[in-house]
Structure 1
Amino acid sequence: MDSFRRGGLTFDVRDAGPDDGDPVVLLHGFPQDSTAWDRVAPALHQHGLRTLAPDQRGYSPMARPRGRSHYRLRETVSDVLALLDAAGLPDAHVVGHDWGGIVGWALGAWHPDRVRTLTALSVPHPGAMARAMVTSDQALRSYYMGLFQLPVLPEQLLLAGNGAALRRMLAHGGLPDDAVARYVRRMREPGALTAAVNWYRALPWAGRDPVGRVRVPTLHVWSTGDAFLGRAATEDTARFVEAPYRLEILDDVTHWIPELAADRTAELVTAHVRG
C-alpha cells in the first residue's frame, strides 16, 4: 500500500519489506517525514520485518487540515489505528521518534491490544515529561514550545530567507546535508510548516487526553547529546510502564537518532521485536 484514508484525509505511507514479515510501524517527528527511516528500514527488512512508515498528519500534502484542534493527540493516534485497519493488521510493533514517540506512548497506553511492542526514541513518557518541566532544566530545553504557541511568527522566523533559520537549526543538530534539504523542502510546501507547528499548538488539549500507564513491552532509547530532552524525564519514565521496560542510552548522539544512529537503532528494534 502507498496511502490510506481517514476522515477525508489521504496519508502517504511507505510499505516495504517482506509481505509476511512482522509489521513495524515507523512514526517520524518534527520536522521530519517518513524519509527519516531511510537507513533504518532496510536493516529491518534484512531481518524479515515489514515496515510501514507514514507521512503523518500535516506532513502528507493531502492531510493538512486547518486549525490546531485537528492535531491533538487523539487525532494523531487515530491516524495510526486507521493505518493498521487499512493494512488489515490487528496489531503491530510501533517505533516512534520525537512526536512519533509521543503518539507511540499514547498508543501503548490507550490501545495496548493494537501494539505488540513499543520503541520510543528520544522522547520520555508524557507524564515524566510534565514532571520534569517543574523539577529539572526541561522547561529551559523546551522554550521553543512556548514560542510555537504564537500565531504566524514561528513560521515567519523559520522560513525567512528560504528557510535559513530552519536549515541552521537542523544542521546544528548534526543532520546530514541531504536530510536537512529534504526536510526544509517539505516544510516550504504550502501550509506544511503551519500544520507541523500545530502539533505543538494542540498541546493545550493534552490535559484532556492524559496518556496514562503503558501496558506493552517497551524500549526507550535516549541520547546524551539531545539538546531538547534531558535525563530527568528519561530516568523517570520507567514508573509509567506496567510491562517489561528497558532504557538504552546512546552516548554522543544528538536528538536525530534515526538518521545519526540508524544501524544501532535497527539492531535495538530488531532485538526488542524478536525478544
Structure 2
Amino acid sequence: MSELTHDDAIVNGVRLHYVEAGEGPLVVLLHGFPEFWYSWRKQIPALTEAGYRVVAPDLRGYNASEKPHGVEQYGLDELVGDVLGLIDHFEEESAHVVGHDWGGVIAWEIAIRHTERVEKLAALNAPHPERFRELLRTPEQLRRSWYVFYFQLPWLPERLLSVRNYAPIAELLRDGAENPDAFDETDIRRYVEAAAQPGALTSAINYYRALFRERAGKEIRALFGDGRGDFDVQTPTLLIWGEQDVALRVELTEGMEQWVPDLRVERLPNASHWVQNDEPEKVSELLVEFFDT
C-alpha cells in the first residue's frame, strides 16, 4: 500500500481535510453519516495497489474539515461544488467517484449535473434520487426514514446523539453492522472522536435539515419531484447494496435503469448499511474490477 498522507485544500470557499494515497487515475471516495474519511480505510489499500490515486475527504462539517455555520451551507449545490473543487485541486478534468450514504447522494448529483466530470460512478447503499422519491411515498420506506424528519428539530437530535459520551453513535455503527468484526473498539473510538469535534454533529445533521429549508429549494424538488428536470445518468454506474440495511429498502435497487442505462447492481445479502465494513474485501474487489474494465 502506498503511504497515506493527510492534507487540506481550500475548495469552493471551504477548507477540506483529506487523505491521499497511490498514483494513477483519480478515485474520490465520499463518506456518509456519521462517518469521515476513515470509513474507506479498508478500500484504500486495494485501490492503490490496483494502480489508482485515491483521495478521501472529510466532507464539509465533518471531522477535521471546516464547519460553516448555517443550514444553508449544507445544500447539494454546496456539497457538489466541494467535490468538483477537489477534483480541480488535483488538476484533473474528471475522476471515478464513489459514495456511501450521504456521499452517495452527492455522487449521484454530480453524475446527474456534471456527467463529464465523472469517469465511473459507484454508489453504496445510496439509491438514485428519483427512485428514492418514488419509494418514499410508500408507508414502509416512510417509516424507515423517520430519522430524516426527526433531524428537522432544532438542537434535540444533537443533544440525544451526544449523551453518554456519544454512545448512540457507537451503537448505530456497532449494532447496525451484520459482521461482528466490522468495527473494533479502535474504530468506534475514532468515529466518536470525529463526531465530538466542535460543531461536527450539528453540521452533519444540517445535511438533512437543508433538504427541507426554503433556501435549499433545489433539494426539496429533488426529494419530491417538483420540476427538477433531467435525472439521467449517462456514466457507467455500479450500485453496491447491503441487503440488511434497516433504513433503506432493498427495493430501492430496482427500476433504476430508466434513469441509468449503463447500470450494474451488486446486492450483498449478508451486509448492512455499513456495507464496506461488513464485506470490505468484496466491496474492494467490486470497485477495482469495475474501474479496471
Return the TM-score normalized by structure 1: 0.95
**C-alpha distance in 2, partners of 1:60/1:157?**
19
CA shift at 1:45, angstroms? 1.0
Alignment of 1:1-275 (within 5 A): 2-18=7-23, 21-135=24-138, 137-174=140-177, 175-176=182-183, 177-204=185-212, 205=216, 206-208=219-221, 210=228, 212-242=231-261, 244-275=262-293
One-letter amino acid matched to 2:203: A
Q: CA deviation at 1:269?
A: 0.8
Q: Distance in 1 between matches of 2:276 and 2:134?
A: 26
Name the CA distance, whole Å, in 2 between partners of 1:203 and 1:26.
Answer: 22
> Equivalent residue of 2:254, what SS?
helix
The separation in 2 between residues aligned to 1:222 and 1:62, in whole angstroms, is: 28
Report the identity percentage: 39
Deviation readout 1:55-101 (Å, 9 max, x if unpaired)? 11111434211111110111101000000111101100001000000
Report if aligned partners of 1:2, 1:14 keep a CA contact under 8 Å in 2.
yes
* Alpha-carbon distance in structure 1 between the residues aligned to 2:256 and 2:57: 26
Q: How many angstroms does 1:203 deviate by?
A: 0.8
Deviation, 1:136, is 5.4
Over residues 85-125 of structure 1, what are the superposed CA-to-partner deviations in whole Å (9 max), with x where a residue is unaligned? 11101100001000000111011110111100000000111
Could you tell me whether the CA contact under 8 Å between 2:59 and 2:65 is conserved in 1?
no
Q: In the aligned structure 2, how far is the partner of 1:6 from the partner of 1:17? A: 22
Q: Cα distance 1:56–1:62, how it changes in 2: closer, same or farther (>3 A)?
A: closer
- What amino acid is aligned across from residue 238 of structure 2 in structure 1? L
The one-character-per-residue Cα deviations of 1:115-167 (angstroms, maximum 9, x if unpaired) are 00000000111110011011351111111001101010000001011112222
Superposition deviation, residue 271 in structure 1? 1.2
TM-score by length of 2: 0.89
CA RMSD of aligned residues (A): 1.5
Gap regions ≥5 residues in structure 2: 1-5, 223-227
CA contact (8 A) 1:11 1:60 kept: no
What secondary structure sits across from 1:15 in the alignment? strand
Paired letter, 2:172:
M
Q: Distance between the aligned counterparts of 1:53 and 1:137, measured in 2?
A: 33
Task: Look up the SS of the partner of 2:162 in the other structure.
Answer: helix
Cα distance, 1:232 vs. partner?
Answer: 2.1
Moved over 3 A (4+): 208-211
Structure 1 stretches lacking a partner, 5+ long: none
Give, in whole Å, the separation in 1 of the partners of 2:112 and 2:99.
14
Moved more, 151-160 or 130-139: 130-139
When structure 1 is superposed on structure 2, of 201-210 and 29-38 the one drifting more is: 201-210
Letter in 1 for 2:136: M
